[in-house]
Each structure stands twice: as structure tokens, then as C-alpha cells.
Amino acid sequence: MSGDRTTNTGGGNYNERIEGHYIDNRQTYINNVTPGKQNPPNNLQFSGTANFVGRQYELTLLRDRLQLAGTVALTAVAGMGGVGKTELAIQYVKKYEYDYPGGICWLSARESDLAANIVQFAQLYMNLEVPQQDFRGRALSLTEQVEWCWQHWQPPEGVALIILDDVTDIASCRDFLPKANRHRVLMTTRWRNLNPNLEEISLDLLSPQEALQLLTALVGNKRVQKEQLAAQELCEWLGYLPLGLELVGRYVAKKPPNYKLAQMLERLEAQRLENEAINRSSSGMQQSLSTAQSGILAAFELSWQKLTPATQLIAALLRNED
Ligand SMILES: Nc1ncnc2c1ncn2[C@@H]1O[C@H](COP(=O)(O)OP(=O)(O)O)[C@@H](O)[C@H]1O
Ligand SMILES: [Mg+2]
């Protein structure tokens, strides 16, 4: 879930450290590992969705580009959240983990303290003592400390992947990016053409067929078989956006088996009309929303009460993003 992703950049130690009560309980573990046999550092916390659909082309393209080295950015269509950038990055890491014997470092670029998170990763996952001063006693800047981390990466050889999830401001990251070819950088971002030097893979909405496949995985084959037309309409209505499909799919899945997809559509439509009425009578600011966007907003109003806290977080994120 997006919300969890933005806050979970490390393991259990991370939280303890954040609160200023960091106890080095890694020590025992790391001391028990034979030098040179230590697993590559990896802080990926997310298992990814069990219902992953489509994106095979993008996964292959991503692999090809990252194998050639350099920096690759994933971008979403028209900056819309929920299209599946983070999910694609997770699936990529899961599928191609073994291309990275130098380790995997997942960082939320949304947080302002990206540099501090890189230093922290080196401390927690590579057991590095990052120097605070140079040999003359001059204090090292955060940028210099980050540079030191890239240079002293453990293991000392092997390609490593750095994921910067949800980059909004490339300028704030640029100083901290690694320069050596062994570090490959994968960014996700809502912006297109974030930087002319970045190679971008534009991530589009799902195809109608993939959307239907996702809905089927969420609400069950029986429901879709019984109401094929309504199922297709529902996908269209949600603009083939993974996040919308997931919100609505989970909502329907909780309903009794006789609950109809057509009913869902009707309720969404009613909710959209209500939203539009509210927007017209207020500032009118949302009139420029695309069909998919207003569809998602309607779905979100409707299912708010029924969502799990994690899904509420996604919905809230989407609302803030758009
Ligand atoms: N290809 C996909 N197949 C199935 N579910 C997906 C897919 N892409 C995204 N999702 C789901 O949709 C939701 C939004 O995806 P996310 O990657 O967080 O979007 P973004 O990072 O673009 O805002 C997540 O719950 C995710 O699991
Ligand atoms: Mg994301």
C-alpha cells in the first residue's frame, strides 16, 4: 500500500533509530555472518500485490535499460497517482532481484531527508561506520557522507539497485545520486520529462482486458461471468486505473454473493452526480477532472467507510495528489 511504502524505508531498527533510541541489536547477527558470505543488503519491505496484471512489456523494457546502466525513470500518465508505478518497481525488484548481487536499496524520495536515509541504509544494512569528519577534523557535509557511502558500498563489487520511489523534485535528489556504473537508479515519479537526461518509461492505464482481469481477481470469476457487460462497464467507468479497480474490487468482494456489479455501477453513478452537484455549488474547481478522476472520487466517497485503514491511506493519498 502506498502509505506504508512511504514510511517504511527500513527494518525494525529503523523506527527505533528514528525515535532516537536506536539500540544496535543488529550486531549479533552481523558478527555471526562469515565475512564475504554476507547476503547483499536489501531493505525491500513490500511483497507486492498477488493480483498483478499486465506490464510485461514495461518490466522487460526496464530490465533492458537498467542492464545498460544509467538512470531510468518511470513516469505516470498526466501525473495521475494510482496507475501502478510503485507496484511496477516492486514487481521488477522481485523478478530481477538476482541481477543485483550488490544489493537493493529502496528509498522513499517523498521524504525530504533522502540523504540521511542513504547514510542510514549504509549503517543499518552494510554495517558501515560513516565518518562525520575528514582526516583533518573538518566536519563532512551530508552530501560528502552520501558520497562516502556510495564509494564504500558493501559488498565491494556487484551491481546494486537504488530505487527512489515517488520523486517530485529531481533537483533535491541530484546531489545525492551515485555516479559509479555499479549503482543503477530506478525512480518513480508522477512527472513526465522530469529531466532531459533521464530515460523515461511512460506508464499508461491498464488495457480493458487487463483491467477486467484485475477486477475478476478481486471480485471472483463467478460474479464477472454472471455480469460480463456490467464488469466491462465498471472497468471503463474507473478509467482502467489500478487503484480505482482495487478500491471498488475490494468493496464488492466484501458484499454478499448476490450483490450485483450493476448495483455497484448505479451507486457509483449516483455518487458522481452528487459529487458534481457539490462541486458546482462550491468553488467549481474540480470541473476539469477527467472521467477516470471523478470516477475514482466517487468510488472513494462511496467506499470510504468500508475501507481498511491501509486502503483509506491510499484513497487519501490519491485525493491529495490530484
Ligand atoms: N499492474 C497491476 N496489477 C494489479 N494491481 C496493481 C497494478 N498496478 C498497481 N496495482 C495496485 O494499484 C494500487 C496503486 O498502485 P501504485 O503502484 O501504488 O500506484 P502509483 O505508485 O502509480 O501511485 C496498488 O494497491 C497496487 O497494488
Ligand atoms: Mg507510488
Q: How high is the pLDDT of residue 73?
A: 64
- pLDDT (tens digit per residue) in 12-39: 332 322 222 222 332 223 333 343 445 8
Going by C-alpha positions, the residue among 103, 215, 113, 216 that lies closest to residue 162 is 103
Which of 181, 203, 225 is the last residue before a domain boundary? 203
**Rg for the chain (alpha carbons), in Å?**
22
Residues 72, 164 within the same domain: yes
Residues 151, 283 within the same domain: no
**pLDDT higher than threshold 50 for residue 244:** yes
Residues 197, 221 within the same domain: no
Distance 135 CA to ligand 2 centre (A): 41
Q: For residue 31, what are the domain limits? A: 2-203
Element spanning 151, H or E: helix 142-151
Distance 43 CA to ligand 1 centre (A): 20
Q: How many domains does the chain have?
A: 2
Strand 104-108 relative to strand 183-189: parallel, antiparallel, unpaired? unpaired
Q: How high is the pLDDT of residue 201?
A: 87
Going by C-alpha positions, the residue among 61, 59, 126 that lies closest to residue 87 is 59
pLDDT, mean of residues 270-288: 64
- pLDDT (tens digit per residue) in 58-104: 999 888 888 886 666 655 433 577 889 999 999 999 999 999 999 99
Distance 88 CA to ligand 1 centre (A): 7
Which of 168, 203, 238 is the last residue before a domain boundary? 203
Q: What is the mean pLDDT of the chain?
A: 78
Burial of 222 (0-12, 13-18, 19+ CB in 10 A): exposed
Going by C-alpha positions, the residue among 296, 193, 186 that lies closest to residue 240 is 296
CATH number at residue 78: 3.40.50.300
DSSP secondary structure letters along 96-146: HGGG-TT-EEEEETTSS-HHHHHHHHHHHHS-----SB-TTSPBPPHHHHH
| Ligand 1 shell residues, CB under 6 Å | 2, 49, 51-55, 76, 81-87, 188, 214, 242-243, 246
Q: pTM surpassing 0.85?
A: no
Point out the ligand 1 atom lying closest to the alpha carbon of residue 76.
22
- ω before 155 within 30° of 0 (cis)? yes
Pocket residue to mutate for ligand 1, from 85, 87, 186, most atoms within 8 A of Cβ: 87
Q: Which amino acid is at 103?
A: G
